[in-house]
Structure 1
Amino acid sequence: MSKLVMRQEWHALLFLHWEISPESVQSRLPEGLVVDTFEDKTYLGLVPFTMRNVRPVWAPAMPWLSHFHETNVRVYVKDTSGRAGVYFFSLEAANPIAVELARTLFKLPYHWAKMEISPATSYSSKRLSHPPLPAHCHISYSLQHVLEQRTAAPNTLEHFLIERYTLFSVSGKQLFAGRVAHPPYQFQKAILHSIDQSLTHAAGFPLDTPPLLAHYSGGVKVDVFGLEPV
């Protein structure tokens, strides 16, 4: 069993999802992972949010390192034992030190980016380190505040997309799994007003249509466990 290594808070999460072909995902996955589907369909997610109080379990939060914006481009997968999780094709973080630490500790494809987030209103990102392609994202959205936030019911599409507690990463030919723990998301539907983005293009998925689904969560407190070889 892996050890608890970090504590974090994730705030103002916007979950955007496109339906894509399972074949387009499977062809891009490392050995040991297979695409996960819901009713024979799979999805690509673009998820901007704000990280707060990011710290090792043995240290307090540090203002210059522990608070920053982040976004990821992710797909839904299983390992050969059937364990469900996410695989990231790219992650942006608005802190270059956090980028280097995450690349080293969690074997994840982070990029340094300039970001601005106005919770429940807008999100903007421009990648500053950009091999092989530059990437940007500008989103305007709102919430239907008359709707109460809820948790995702088991065996629903929302649960399939949002309630994921394992990440997979790869270094060389070695596949790793990392576990997180947090309460179920309280979420609601978001209303997307506009989106101009090339993050999915830079990740190898040239999507030019608006996302099919948009959800918003105020956030959760998260325990992060160390990587284990799969």
Structure 2
Amino acid sequence: MYEEILNNTAHRDSPLPDAPWVMMQQWDHLLFRHYPIPCHVLTPYLPPGLQLDTFYGKAWLSIVSFKVSQIRLRKMPLVPFADSSLQINVRTYVMRGNRKGVYFFSLDMNRLLAVLGARVAALSTYFANMSMENRDGVIHFSSERRGKEAGRLKVAYQPSSDIFYAEHERLTNWLLERYFLWTYRNGSLLRGAIHHKRWEIQEADVQTEKQSLTSFLSSHDLGAPLGHYAASQVALIWMLRKER
């Protein structure tokens, strides 16, 4: 399977990393919730070395919720006791040099081992009680952080269009086809990389009951969101490396 993914690169705007990938994951029932936001609001939250990426002068923040399964390390069988988990990431869109990618403000997970692993990898991660349930084609996703740091998400969503590919140089393509990520730890900027086939997506109808994962921002700063749904994606993941 991974050879087919590696040979499918025409949709990327940068070559694959020279180093070998280290992990494969399958992502299912993904909801992308994209919010336009003024640039001056997000810029103070970026670490040194990253520049806010914009689409026609507008910045964006996204909340992505999904199920993770089929976790496999390179040349190894499926990881035991990690058959599936749920995850949310809150991210914005950044650049460093000629590379475009995302910067994660937070990741919420419902598996403690996954949380600990992400923290070792320098990602800002929270342990949360989470559930996902498919009721007659509508996905109900709920999450509440454990511990002192508050953060909740409760949404119901379903696809509302035929499957399509985002057109090049359109906003949807700009938001989704991102293959680098950055995080910041102990004064150092770290870069990771991923690769997968081109996104097959659908428009999504979304009902949001609770959302406090962006409490570091004012709710007045977030514009009307866009919603996209993807049934599944298999991704290859590279190890984080310190930027020079």
TM > 0.5 fold call: yes
RMSD over aligned CA atoms reads 1.6
Does 1:191 find its partner at 2:205? yes
Q: Which runs of 5+ in 1 are unaligned?
A: none
Structure 1 distance, partners of 2:146, 2:19, is 33
Does 1:52 find its partner at 2:102? no
Does 1:102 find its partner at 2:118? yes
Does 1:137 find its partner at 2:137? no
The structure 1 segments of at least 4 consecutive aligned residues displaced by more than 6 Å after TM superposition are none
> Identity over aligned residues, as a percent?
30
Does 1:77 find its partner at 2:94? yes
Displacement after TM superposition at 1:141 (Å)? 2.2
Structure 1 distance, partners of 2:232, 2:42, is 28
The one of 56, 66, 80 equivalent to 1:39 is 56
Does 1:118 find its partner at 2:133? yes
User: Residue by residue, what CA displacement relative to the aligned partner does 1:69-103 show, whole Å, maximum 9, x if unpaired?
Assistant: 00011000001x12100001110011001100111
Structure 2 distance, partners of 1:195, 1:156, is 29
Does 1:3 find its partner at 2:25? no
SS of the equivalent of 1:199 reads coil
Structure 2 distance, partners of 1:46, 1:57, is 28
Structure 2 distance, partners of 1:160, 1:210, is 18
| 1:46–1:73 Cα contact (<8 Å) kept | yes
| 1:195–1:210 Cα contact (<8 Å) kept | no
Q: Scaled by the length of structure 1, what TM-score is found?
A: 0.91
Displacement after TM superposition at 1:210 (Å)? 7.6
Structure 1 distance, partners of 2:77, 2:218, is 41
| 1:115–1:123 Cα contact (<8 Å) kept | yes
Mapping 1:210-221, distance limit 5 Å? 211-221=224-234
| 1:12–1:217 Cα contact (<8 Å) kept | yes
> Match of 2:102?
86
Structure 2 distance, partners of 1:166, 1:66, is 25
Q: Scaled by the length of structure 2, what TM-score is found?
A: 0.86
Displacement after TM superposition at 1:187 (Å)? 0.5
Does 1:226 find its partner at 2:239? yes
| 2:194–2:235 Cα contact (<8 Å) kept | yes
User: Residue by residue, what CA displacement relative to the aligned partner does 1:177-207 show, whole Å, maximum 9, x if unpaired?
Assistant: 1110100110011012233111111xx1232
